[in-house]
Structure 1
Amino acid sequence: MPSILPVHPQPLPGELFSSWVHRVARANGQNVFSLCYLLAPEMKNTYYNCDYLVDEGIVFKFAKVLRASREKAYRTTLESFAGYLFEQATPKAHIKTCILQTGIKRYDDVRFNLQFCPACLSEGCSYFRKKWRISWLTVCTEHACQLHDRCPECNFPVRPLKNDVGQPYKMPFLGKITECFQCGFELKDSTAKRANLEVLSDACWYEEALDLGYISLTERTWIYSFSLFSVLRHLIYLIGSGSSKGGNPDTMPHEFRYNAMRELRGVFRDWPNRLIELCNRRGIKYYHFTNMTKRKPLLPYWLDAAIRPRMYKPKLGPTKESVAAAIAYLRTHEIRTSLLQVNRILGYRDSGLIKKFYKEIHE
């Protein structure tokens, strides 16, 4: 392994690791994967999921031969979001919360896990931002436009590293980082769609929380950013679960995530009134939040304390007084009194409590 590469481009602000590697390889006249295998043999056959699988050890190898600081190099990785976007680092996990997922290798061409802003790609040196992998981020806050998650020409996912992977007849494409690996379309020429202003405002607020690691909901309620994003992700799931592309927010196409963010605009403002209004409008109940995680407690305290008094309505069983009232009603209307009739009036099929109280009343 070389001690220092001839040309050593440094990570650009907010750059994604795979984007940095692509620029390094081209600057040194190398194929991306040949260079990766030379510097870190453990990266072999990881082109489809490079950013997910890179760990601290690998990125430090690149930092050493590129004369880059370890801190700047590590900041290009998705793992550097730990404690900000998600709670803990999971270097060996193939699923990172709030990160658009690639999935296993056979899903490589059907998962849209990298977004882009055509205006950002057109400015100065073109590169892909790390934040474009975040599932709840659907707009560019710098250019007030929606992000794209696929090539508008052929509808294939954005895979810059595949520009160096053999195409038909085993000929490498060797296109620019901003060209679609499938059809060669220049992604910088994609149409920039104007974003909803409230969605933009929310995105700026969320990005601020991501940078700081915490955010304020009220004067007395300060929470960690990763806790906020876990609830936001679950809300996207609840909003999108009724659609054909609903389910996991980290695998949803951009269109569905953007529409969900439009409906969720301002949901954490005037806390918790706007969230309660949304839940009432969409028929979201308290129990819909209890499947956010399998860990204990099921809900973050700040969320539970805000919504439980106004949304939690436990299902109460029949009381002895209600059974007595049902019997009195049957007698008043000269209807034959029976255990079956009492169950029907109170809305039960065969309640053990009704049976118990019925016997006590008739003793």
Structure 2
Amino acid sequence: MIITPLTPDFLRGVRQTEATPRGLRPHRLPEWVRSRFPDPQLMMMETQPSGVRVVFSTDARAVELVIHPTRVAYRGADRPRGRIDLVVDGEMIASDTLTGGDFFETDLQTGFTDFHAGDPHTARFSGLREGEKQIELWLPHNESVELTEIRSDAPVGPVASAGRVWVHHGSSISHGSNASTPIGIWPAIAARRGGVDLQNLGFGGSALVDPFLARVIRDAPADLISVKLGINVVNLDSMRLRAFVPAVHGFLDTIRDGHPNTPLVLISPIFCGIHEDTPGPGAVDPATLDTGTVRFVATGRSEDQKYGRLTLRVIRDALASLAARRTDDSNLHYLDGTRLYGAADAVVHPLPDALHPDTATHRLIGERFAEYAFTETGPFAAR
């Protein structure tokens, strides 16, 4: 087998890479954000390479990717392992489930965390068709990785992106929570249908209208932009209505400083029954601990809306009004998130943990977004 070290030119969907003793760690946020605001939740999420791909051309019929994964586990909660998806010339061919690696195990009742060291993982794919082809190895959306090397039975070479770049920012739903595979997260489904190059800035628990995220989007190469805001602001109870609306205006203004005319879709939250009329904070339901499947609950009081505490209905109304007032921006488009997943969908496709969609629902959301955005009359239509 030919051994090829991983270098940044093999990667798509990353902002920066970091050399480690084991290899190369992909980062979805630049170093200046990580050094200024090393929030543990955000730091864990940005190293999980949601939407990141190793891309190369080759005649090889067998390829291997050697990585060292790191994951977070919760005692008493069943969390499936990450996967690496193999896509050849745009077609999904196989999926490899990770083994080994390091993991941090947290007890949700005590908050105590244990560290466990593990071995590297090698994803093996064989029996590929003859001839030159483009291979994409989609990295796990739910585990951090250090990339070591590609092994193959023929030389490999990086491939430059030729498509339009779509930068998307959102919460854990955009990150891919509860989806079973990397290409099964809704932004990946939409991007593949739209034929665009995805840079996913979805971060679990961290879509909080942070000014530095707006700067990251402002400075990123982007042909298409979308931001999905609201659910984390509610379930962290991080803002009141008076602060939220100006913050979103400022967030959009910063993006426009770098992308004044780029198509930009502002998306409000999908339907989530626990927070439709009840403010946060959100919390794990104690009754579901040690059951294998945790569920979330809202701990606020509906009557507190009169004090400016936020619910999803309040946020949707606020974002719709905000977008309508930005009359000077003809390339700003507002999408009500319940068009992607609404109350009727929750009857057929209930959220398993009361907060995050499962794999089938990610597909539903991704297909609906693609139908909205990438059709001939959609905001992301090829011009």
TM-score range (shorter-chain normalised) is under 0.3
Q: Which has the higher contact order (CA 8 A, sep 6+)?
A: 2
Larger Rg: 1
Q: Which has the higher strand share?
A: 2
Kindly indicate which of the two structures has a greater share of residues assigned to helix.
1
User: TM-score with structure 2 length normalisation?
Assistant: 0.25
TM-score (norm 1): 0.26
